[in-house]
Amino acid sequence: MSAENIAQFFEGIPAWWTTFFMAMLPVTELRGSIPWAITFGDMTWHQAYIASVLGNFVPALPLLLFMEQLLRFADRYPWSKKIADYFLRRTRRRATAVHKYGYLGLALFVGIPLPVTGAWTGSLAAFIFGIPIRKALVGITIGLFISATIVTSITMGLFSFLS
């Protein structure tokens, strides 16, 4: 599923809000919302940056606050337990920096704009490794700024090269 397909779902909604909502989704996060906003949404890079960081941050606090309840709920059903166990194993394996360096490792983990390293997985990693919510929010926020800067720079470089 591409960022463009997801954006079609939001057809008729202003580009700023489409970007914001795309950044909230675990599939696209800001790695998909920033390129979409700049190339298809006709937004400036600062508008795309702000809408994407804000949108990607929105799910972090509820995820951090309710992760234990979500996982407990997932344990009730075999199909959701399988999915939750998969993400728990995968996050434990990929988030070694979070375990080793705490919230600064979390910032680096979220800041690397690769698949499965955004705010959603960062929130799960913070929960797994017992990072307090306030420190996790700081780490995730720093990581979002790092990631958004990298994605925006790459998008602007590619966009100016293709024009």
Q: What string of H, E and C letters represents the secondary structure of 53-82? A: HHHHHCCHHHHHHHHHHHHHHHCCCHHHHH
Per-residue pLDDT of the chain (163 residues; tens, 9 = 90+): 666 677 678 788 999 999 999 999 999 999 999 999 999 999 999 999 999 999 999 999 999 999 999 999 999 999 999 999 998 998 988 888 898 999 999 999 999 998 888 999 999 999 999 999 999 999 999 999 999 999 999 999 876 655 5
Could you tell me how far CA 50 lies from the centroid of its own chain? 14
Confidence (pTM): 0.88
